[in-house]
Amino acid sequence: MSPVSPWLPPEAAALTESFSQTLDTQVQRVAVPTPLAAAPIPTTYVRQGTGTPPILLIHGFDSSLVEFRRLLPALTAHRETWAVDLLGFGFTDRTVTPTVSPATIKQHLHRFWRQQIQQPMVLVGASMGGAAALDFALTYPQAVAQLVLLDSAGFAAAPAMGRLMVPPLDRWATAFLRNPGVRRRISQNAYCDRTLVTADADLCAALHLTCPRWSEALITFTKSGGYNFLRDKIPLLNLPTLIVWGRQDRILGIKDAIRFATAIPQSKLAWIDACGHVPHLEKPAETAAAILTFIA
């Protein structure tokens, strides 16, 4: 058993892979005051490395900053790199504010940036985190020097699960998503090389399920409609943008990579071969090289 951050559940002590063990000792927590609640929101993050502009990594749907365990070491050797748990996700506290939506996620993320980073950054978003990054950059362009989208949502429609988010179906839907077999099948579909879906990877993907009000936050966010509103706003983005996409993405396919590259004026598309929906996990060295070359 390895020592872990006090802000993670005790199950994290059972992690066995070195990337997971290292990251899980580095997780910190800070109280972020926002207009969303009377009390500051305890927010979990990791900060490593030096060099400007800093990089901020934001995770995907029903995930946590732990999904960057393989990418972080490759970036922190060259730049100050942060990873943060979005409002309503990961290990960031869900009990302070009951409302989880793109609007509240963006507001919380901006307050975190203003409090902790305080300078233009390279914003990197994976999957749903890519949509959150787009939304943030469109609203707060002064906070973002460059944008990186990793197999990003934004064009794709919201998951059909949103139609189930009425009692009692909402509880059944989240109970279904909590099922270890279901989560493993989702993970296997996200990778090109399914041998990477190890017991350690399964545990990393499920650690946040033990956090208080996990299901309530997931239900609230899904009922908000997610990032369906972004499609027509994407061409308005006026920032240098790198689109990184796995050629074997079975979650979103590959057509949206071309759509992003066409819609965003200052964009560059980098394909990652033999890679599925999670290039930061499946091909971290190639993904980091693409990011560092772009921001250099």
Residue 263 counted as domain residue: yes
Percent of the chain with pLDDT over 90: 87
Q: In whole angstroms, what is the distance from residue 157 CA to residue 13 CA?
A: 37
The amino acid occupying position 248 is: Q
Structural domain range at position 97: 26-157+211-295
Closest CA to 89 of 203, 216, 202, 217: 217
Each residue's pLDDT tens digit, 100-135: 999 999 999 999 999 999 999 999 999 999 999 999
Residue 239 counted as domain residue: yes
Residue 276 counted as domain residue: yes
Residue 182 counted as domain residue: no
Domain count for the chain, please give it.
1
Residue 185 counted as domain residue: no
Look up the pTM and report it.
0.94
Q: In whole angstroms, what is the distance from residue 57 CA to residue 123 CA?
A: 6
The CATH number of the domain holding residue 89 is: 3.40.50.1820
Each residue's pLDDT tens digit, 156-168: 765 544 444 445 5
Residue 188 counted as domain residue: no
Q: In whole angstroms, what is the distance from residue 185 CA to residue 139 CA?
A: 36
Tokens read off for 279: 């290039």
